[in-house]
């Protein structure tokens, strides 16, 4: 009888020790873990869209716009200038392409010299169609990136850059 | 503690035994055959090997200053990255069609994962008693094949990189002897001459005002290169810059090169 | 004098048995390059440790000048390398040592593998050794970013993109390492913390376990 009580007492103390140890560990580690994973849970700050002009300015012919975005990197904040080629089709759908070539990041230009109705990158002769689709056989292997677009109160807003899913075309 | 025998005596009220073991090294006759004590015999040999290594190592540090390329510039999109050499084989694998695109999971997780798990579990996978490499051909064979694979991939990555991007292999620029000056600050008030503004292809990479975009800033290029060198680079390209981008006559080219050489 | 100091400490802490165990343990003939030159392959483990010690020391001294901040990191590295006396040597030791330690560890691993030294009863030590290998690779990856030059920046970006392509956990791992959306100020300070505190802490623990196990089990016998 007494022996049995001895064991259960030891077991109880062991459990109590584990519990206290667990509390100590959790109490120490929890704030630190939350501290470390904060960037994971923080709402992405770069989501603000920037107005680049009235929607009526844009048509089937690509038009280049420049706009400033506010970038925040931890405790550093800065302004950077971005550019976009904007087109609007008959249905009123707006496409905003990033001018950064997907090959090595030079800047593409619309309707340059003999490259009619194409985006042309002067660095290594990369070519893209009007919808940003890359022309097969030229250096780029991806289509020009797209900006997220939104039309509000007759104004065009551009947001984050996202990859363009269009496959390459021959031409 | 409970095992202490009752006659044991301690230093004061501590638990340190009062019995002293004499601090005497055993005689060499106690080491059978050609075995020897760790201290000082064997350690001396190890330290002599270490001394040779250290000398070679110090010579290396003095003769090859650690590389330091230009300050990180997230907008320098012409820079072709290369990981440290011991990650190259993993990096190279991702370039093959069976380990990239839709199959990238193979390249990033499955192949390395299987290989490293197998390596960690080697004692259980290769559980036979025999230790000689020839007596366990499967383990030895797989290891040799992996070694060949790793060496080949590392070589292939380096070879490909130095063939495609001879300019920024990342090995060239030593910190102390760095030929590469830090990127000049773009001068926003700088206005280039008409001979430059006519060259739209150049502006694609070097910027409308020569401030540098994907290519380097050229606002002070004359302080580093003379007109002939500039003309040569314009004609033949350099590093990531393709040849023959210039549009115009040889006379125009000469004018542009002279203008650029005057920028200091 | 020295003898008296030793006796004084020994009387209080009884250190002689520990010391004699370390000093007098027997080194067998088959690992001794003085008897068989081919036994030099047994040196790689010790050399790995030697270079690790250099890495720890030179790293400690580098932090006297280094600042983990995107504005100043590059300038501080440039300064310590070019302006500080022997800066080339100290940074060189840390930079080249990082490669050398991988080479030595690789050779040590191959020696253990091809001599079958990881077999019973030494399985656990092999596993600990593998963990040391991964920690070293982690140290290499995080340390590569710290000079904040173009090589470092873009190599890290590629590395993080590779991490990102891992299904399910990849994006989280990347965000955790990057500390935000872009490789920037938070990434650098995170990599610094990992490189200087987290991984070295793990490394010291694992190395301790590695050595205690070697001492307890002895070196594996001749083939």
Assign residue B114 the CATH number of its domain.
Answer: 1.10.287
pLDDT given at position A43: 66
Residue C94: enclosing H or E segment and its boundaries? helix C87-114
Residue B166 pLDDT > 50: yes
Q: What is the pLDDT of residues A9-48, one digit of tens each?
A: 999 999 999 999 999 999 999 999 999 998 888 766 555 7
Give A40's contacts in chain C (Cβ within 8 Å): 172, 175-176
Interface of C with A in 42-71 (CB under 8 A): 70-71
B213 and B252, same domain (yes or no): yes
Q: Do C150 and B69 make contact, defined as CB atoms within 8 angstroms?
A: yes
Test mutation, C9, C14, C84, C150, chain B, max B CBs within 10 A: C150
Lookup: tokens for A13: 């103390």
Give B42's contacts in chain C (Cβ within 8 Å): 27, 32
Q: Is A39 on the interface with C (CB under 8 A)?
A: yes
**Alpha carbons B165 and C201: distance in angstroms, whole number:** 39
Shortest Cα–Cα distance, B247 to chain C (Å) = 32
Least confident of A43-47, B226-230, C7-11, C121-125: A43-47
Q: Is A105 on the interface with C (CB under 8 A)?
A: no
pTM above threshold 0.95? no
Q: Do B213 and A124 make contact, defined as CB atoms within 8 angstroms?
A: no
* Residue B99 is assigned to a structural domain of this protein: yes
B153 and B204, same domain (yes or no): no
Average pLDDT over residues B8-33: 88
Name the residue facing B77 among A104, A124, A125 (closest C-beta).
A104
* Residue B237 is assigned to a structural domain of this protein: yes
Q: Do C186 and A73 make contact, defined as CB atoms within 8 angstroms?
A: yes
pLDDT given at position B1: 47
CA atoms within 13 A on the CB side of A98: 21
pLDDT given at position A67: 85
Q: Do B133 and C12 make contact, defined as CB atoms within 8 angstroms?
A: no
Q: Do B214 and A122 make contact, defined as CB atoms within 8 angstroms?
A: no
Average pLDDT over residues B236-251: 73
Res. B168 pLDDT band, cuts 50 70 90? very low
The DSSP output letter for B66 is P
* Residue C17 is assigned to a structural domain of this protein: no
What interface predicted TM-score (ipTM) does this complex get? Answer: 0.91
**Alpha carbons C157 and B76: distance in angstroms, whole number:** 13
* Residue C85 is assigned to a structural domain of this protein: yes
Is the four-CA dihedral A160, B81, C103, B132 of positive or negative sign?
positive
The chains in contact with chain A, meaning 3 or more Cβ pairs closer than 8 Å, are B, C
Number of domains in chain C: 1
Percent of chain B with pLDDT over 90: 29
A to B CB pairs, distance under 8 Å: 39
Give B132's contacts in chain C (Cβ within 8 Å): 116, 223
Is residue A7 reached through a cis peptide bond, with omega within 30 degrees of 0 on the bond before it? no
The chains in contact with chain C, meaning 3 or more Cβ pairs closer than 8 Å, are A, B
Residue B176 pLDDT > 60: no
Q: Is B213 on the interface with A (CB under 8 A)?
A: yes
Average pLDDT over residues A140-148: 85
Give A44's contacts in chain C (Cβ within 8 Å): 181
* Residue C151 is assigned to a structural domain of this protein: yes
Q: Is A131 on the interface with B (CB under 8 A)?
A: no
Q: Do B17 and C14 make contact, defined as CB atoms within 8 angstroms?
A: yes
Name the residue facing C182 among A40, A42, A73 (closest C-beta).
A73
Q: Do A122 and B213 make contact, defined as CB atoms within 8 angstroms?
A: no
* Residue B143 is assigned to a structural domain of this protein: yes
B158 and B115, same domain (yes or no): yes
pLDDT given at position B184: 46
Q: Is A46 on the interface with C (CB under 8 A)?
A: yes
pLDDT given at position C65: 97
Q: What is the pLDDT of residues B30-73, one digit of tens each?
A: 888 889 999 889 999 999 999 999 999 999 999 999 999 888 88
* Residue C25 is assigned to a structural domain of this protein: no
Q: CB–CB of A113/A101 below 8 Å? A: no
Neighbours of A44 (CB within 10 A): 10
Crossing angle for the helix pair C44-62 and C199-217, nearest 10 degrees? 150
Give B77's contacts in chain A (Cβ within 8 Å): 100, 104-106
Test mutation, A39, A42, A162, chain C, max C CBs within 10 A: A39
Higher pLDDT, C207 or A44: C207
Residue A2 pLDDT > 70: no
The DSSP output letter for A169 is B
B89 and B160, same domain (yes or no): yes
Domain of C139? Answer: 42-217
* Residue C24 is assigned to a structural domain of this protein: no
pLDDT given at position B175: 35
Number of domains in chain B: 3
Chain C residue with the nearest C-alpha to that of B119: C130
* Residue B141 is assigned to a structural domain of this protein: yes
Q: Do B245 and A122 make contact, defined as CB atoms within 8 angstroms?
A: yes
Q: What is the pLDDT of residues B100-125, one digit of tens each?
A: 666 778 888 889 999 999 999 999 99
Residue B173 pLDDT > 60: no
Higher pLDDT, C27 or B189: C27
Average pLDDT over residues B231-260: 78
Q: Do C165 and B38 make contact, defined as CB atoms within 8 angstroms?
A: no
First to last CA, chain B: 82
Least confident of A51-65, C52-66, C87-101, C120-134: A51-65
B to C CB pairs, distance under 8 Å: 235
Question: What residues does A110 pair with on adjacent strands?
Answer: A119
pLDDT given at position C122: 95
Q: Do C17 and B21 make contact, defined as CB atoms within 8 angstroms?
A: yes
Question: What residues does B238 pair with on adjacent strands?
Answer: B241
Q: What average pLDDT does chain A have?
A: 83
pLDDT given at position C5: 95
Shortest Cα–Cα distance, C130 to chain B (Å) = 6
Res. C164 pLDDT band, cuts 50 70 90? confident
Least confident of A166-170, B244-248, C107-111: B244-248
Give A74's contacts in chain C (Cβ within 8 Å): 179-180, 184-186, 189
Q: Do C186 and A37 make contact, defined as CB atoms within 8 angstroms?
A: no
Q: Do A106 and B201 make contact, defined as CB atoms within 8 angstroms?
A: no
**Alpha carbons A70 and B13: distance in angstroms, whole number:** 70
Name the residue facing A39 among C70, C71, C186 (closest C-beta).
C186
Is the four-CA dihedral A102, A107, A111, A115 of positive or negative sign?
negative
Q: Is B129 exposed, middle or buried (0-12, 13-18, 19+ CB in 10 A)?
A: exposed
B73: helix, strand or coil: coil
**Alpha carbons B63 and B65: distance in angstroms, whole number:** 6
* Residue B69 is assigned to a structural domain of this protein: no
Assign residue C133 the CATH number of its domain.
Answer: 1.20.810.10
Shortest Cα–Cα distance, B218 to chain C (Å) = 19
Q: What is the pLDDT of residues A108-124, one digit of tens each?
A: 888 877 778 888 877 67
pLDDT given at position A109: 84
Give B200's contacts in chain A (Cβ within 8 Å): 109, 112, 122
pLDDT given at position A162: 84
Domain of B37? Answer: 28-63
pLDDT given at position A44: 60
């Amino acid at each position: 009888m007494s022996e049995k009580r001895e064991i259960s007492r030891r077991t109880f103390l062991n459990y109590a020790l584990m519990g206290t140890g667990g509390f100590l560990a959790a109490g120490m580690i929890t704030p630190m873990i939350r501290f470390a994973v904060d960037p994971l849970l923080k709402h992405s700050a770069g989501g603000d869209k920037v107005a680049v002009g009235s929607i009526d300015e844009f048509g089937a012919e690509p038009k280049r716009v420049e706009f400033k975005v506010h970038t925040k990197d931890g405790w550093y904040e800065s302004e950077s200038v971005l550019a976009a080629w904007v087109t609007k089709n008959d249905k009123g759908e707006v496409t905003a392409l990033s001018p950064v070539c997907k090959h090595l990041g030079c800047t593409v230009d619309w309707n340059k010299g003999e490259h009619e109705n194409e985006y042309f990158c002067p660095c290594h002769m990369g070519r893209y169609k009007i919808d940003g689709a890359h022309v097969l056989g030229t250096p780029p292997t991806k289509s020009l990136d797209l900006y997220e677009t939104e039309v509000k109160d007759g104004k065009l807003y551009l947001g984050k850059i996202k990859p363009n899913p269009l496959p390459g075309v021959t031409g | 503690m409970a095992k202490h025998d009752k006659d044991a005596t301690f230093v004061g009220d501590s638990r340190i035994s009062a019995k002293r073991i004499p601090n005497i090294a055993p005689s060499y006759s106690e080491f059978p055959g050609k075995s020897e004590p760790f201290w000082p015999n064997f350690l001396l040999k190890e330290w002599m090997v270490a001394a040779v290594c250290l000398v070679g190592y110090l010579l290396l540090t003095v003769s090859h200053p650690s590389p330091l390329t230009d300050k990180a510039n997230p907008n320098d999109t012409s820079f072709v990255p290369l990981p440290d050499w011991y990650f190259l084989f993993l990096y190279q694998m991702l370039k093959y069609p069976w380990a990239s695109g839709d199959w990238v999971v193979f390249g990033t997780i499955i192949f390395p994962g299987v290989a490293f798990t197998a390596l960690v579990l080697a004692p259980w996978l290769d559980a036979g008693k025999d230790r000689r490499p020839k007596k366990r051909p499967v383990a030895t064979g797989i290891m040799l094949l992996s070694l060949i694979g790793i060496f080949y991939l590392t070589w292939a990555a380096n070879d490909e990189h130095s063939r495609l991007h001879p300019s920024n292999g990342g090995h060239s620029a030593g910190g102390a002897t760095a030929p590469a000056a830090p990127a000049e600050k773009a001068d926003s008030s700088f206005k280039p001459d008409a001979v430059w503004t006519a060259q739209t292809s150049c502006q694609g990479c070097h910027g409308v005002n020569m401030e540098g975009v994907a290519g380097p800033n050229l606002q002070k290029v004359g302080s580093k290169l003379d007109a002939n060198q500039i003309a040569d680079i314009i004609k033949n390209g350099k590093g990531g810059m393709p040849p023959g981008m210039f549009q115009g006559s040889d006379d125009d080219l000469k004018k542009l090169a002279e203008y650029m050489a005057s920028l200091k | 004098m020295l003898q008296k100091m030793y006796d004084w400490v020994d009387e209080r802490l009884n250190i002689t048995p520990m010391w004699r165990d370390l000093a007098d343990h027997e080194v067998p003939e088959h690992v001794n390059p003085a008897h068989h030159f081919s036994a030099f392959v047994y040196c790689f483990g010790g050399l790995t440790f030697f270079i690790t010690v250099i890495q720890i020391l030179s790293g400690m001294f580098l932090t006297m000048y280094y600042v983990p901040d995107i504005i100043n990191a590059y300038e501080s590295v440039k300064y310590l390398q070019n302006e500080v006396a022997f800066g080339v040597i100290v940074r060189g030791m840390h930079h080249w040592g990082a490669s050398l330690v991988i080479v030595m560890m690789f050779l040590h691993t191959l020696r253990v593998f091809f001599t079958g030294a990881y077999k019973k009863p030494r399985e656990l030590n092999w596993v600990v050794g593998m963990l040391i290998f991964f920690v070293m690779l982690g140290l290499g990856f995080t340390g590569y970013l710290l000079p904040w030059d173009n090589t470092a920046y873009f190599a890290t970006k590629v590395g993080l993109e590779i991490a990102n392509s891992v299904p399910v956990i990849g994006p989280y791992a990347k965000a955790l390492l990057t500390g935000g959306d872009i490789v920037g100020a938070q990434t650098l300070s995170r990599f610094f913390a990992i490189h200087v505190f987290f991984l070295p802490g793990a490394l010291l623990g694992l190395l301790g376990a590695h050595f205690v196990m070697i001492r307890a089990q002895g070196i594996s016998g001749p083939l």
